[in-house]
Structure 1
Amino acid sequence: MATYPWLDGSLGSDCGGSIRDPAVVFGVAGFRPSHDGIQEENTLVPCPRFQRTGYLTRDMKTLYDLTRHAVRRPFDDRESWRPKRVIAINEYASGRADVDELFTKTAEKLAKFLGTELVNVSLEDTWKRTNPVKTDKGFLAHYAKTFMTVVRKDYYDSGAKFREDYQRKFDAAPFVVQTTRYLWGGATEPLAEYQRALLEVKEHNAWFSENIVDEETIMVLPRFSLDRRDEYLPDPWKREWMVWDSNLHASIGGYPNLMMPIGQLPFDSEISQRQEVFPVTLAITGAHGTDLAMIRLVHDFLAEHGPATGVQPGKSAYPDNMAF
């Protein structure tokens, strides 16, 4: 999508961010639709509880058309829906001053476009104040293991027939990549851990819908990436998997999650030894079923306030290599 002008749209599977994260890295529009936690029709995926087809395009009009035709679920005739509240989560600040400045300026314009104001909310303070599960842990600590505990068990279970068929035919265990071996290792975890994680999914979804993103609210947050292609990850057993990520609200809760390119910023590249630009994204999470309304809202906002309703392919997402 970021390279070839003849490619209008593409799709792929998204469990914890496999569509949304690439959208952020390459500065294109990415979207994960609403879901109900039931396996998507006509799909064969390793974690059907959370995995959904997501979409990538360079412009919001194409993303709207692709989503409208491809997503097999009703949208409750909610295309005229507009949120009345826009919140930013303190804990999800980017940690980079220029990114946060561009994000805040854009988020404030979006809120004004909707006739409201941007409200900053602390996830941890809200969790502590409501204390839904009577725990001494903060939100991020309480849910650190939830997503991956479920994913590893479901991943193992979904591969059962493959492993059985392979063993029967070749009298050997299949050779798989290290990440898959790590994920299959979730089967050795106590069943009680998995059951507790499933309960935490339900707890999170009820709490999040009541206290963060309700029917009249959207959550916005900044996203960017300066990871390099020559930086290699350690083997899976040495990585830190059990952490919470902002993507996971949508992954386990079924909320529509839209990656909206909002500009690009300069940085000094260690590779080219000169100044380059990197894309910045504003991520939006809304209530269930507001998918098309959210994309239409973003299109209309970008058409009025810029930088553009779409990006161009190639090295720079915007004309003349401009930064914002």
Structure 2
Amino acid sequence: MADTRSRAEEFCRRFGLKLPILLAPMAGACPPSLSAAVMQAGGMGACGALLMQPAEIEAWAQAVRQASDAPFQINLWIPDPPPRRDAEHEARVRDFLSQWGPAVPAEAGDAAPPDFNAQCEALLALKPAVISSIMGVYPPPFVQRMKQLGIAWFATATTVDEALQAEAAGADVIVAQGMEAGGHRGSFEAAAAERRQVGLFALLPAIRDAVRLPVVATGGIADARGVAAAMLLGADAVQIGTGFLRSPEAKLATAWSDALAAARPEQTMLTRAFSGRAGRSIANDYARAAADAPAPAPYPVQRGLTAAMRKQAQERNDASRMQAWAGQSAALAQALPAAQIAAGAWEGAVRLLA
């Protein structure tokens, strides 16, 4: 217990926290209100900035800083190579999607994420305490500029090899993401996301033994029991995503929130049907049907093709076809204030570890 507590205390000292609890940077599900609540409790806030233009990232940071002066992380995906397009296959995907939402025009697949380099420049200008990554490692010039500004780099890894790559590239902290995690898998190779599924209880001690850096555990942690288990397995801190989504500050659609409360672990699934990248979601009607439909187009083409359906499902609060990301411990998420969830998770873990 003493070693476990000392690791957590050192992590908190280094990064200006009172609790070794981090909000997961969930793209599209990290409003400023959620980060501010976690930060006010003593944890670290987060922004999943994948889909945000530089001005939107700046507005998010300003809103959070007005509410709290505690640290937060901003996260970006490392871009994949340009997708290989197949017009005939995309037409079949569009025909399938027309059964689940509005008709999908051919040009919908042309949608692209914001400019990565412009996003990186915005992050450096904002100087958050932490810039985190998923899907790979940042290029050396960007890492050098981060270090010059005193910004820490938290690199997500889903395998030991990825953790070693991130350490060699200059990461300051490894975020060990188990297969239980909700949302997109952080695999460096998109094609390997389904093949290399390692649970957190196997991944965490293996990464702990392989690297010299602090390790943050994430994936399937939603209450004090998960926090305590992760700490015993070598984590310096934990990162929680789905466990915060039912809090009022998350402002989640009620259908999504209700689905989380009812979801057993086996009622989530890994699917490419929403974005073209493998992610864990509620196994709703659309996700299950897509398993027997034309294979999804690659990311970000599939994201563009499904945009109209996802928008309509959100507007109609329709859980049967909503993009409802969910970790395997979704049912442990509580409809409580986020600050109470964060504080309770650590206080309960301390009692368990004692």
Q: Which has the higher helix share?
A: 2
Is the structural similarity TM-score above 0.5? no
TM normalised by structure 2 equals 0.24
Q: Which has the higher contact order (CA 8 A, sep 6+)?
A: 1
Larger radius of gyration: 1
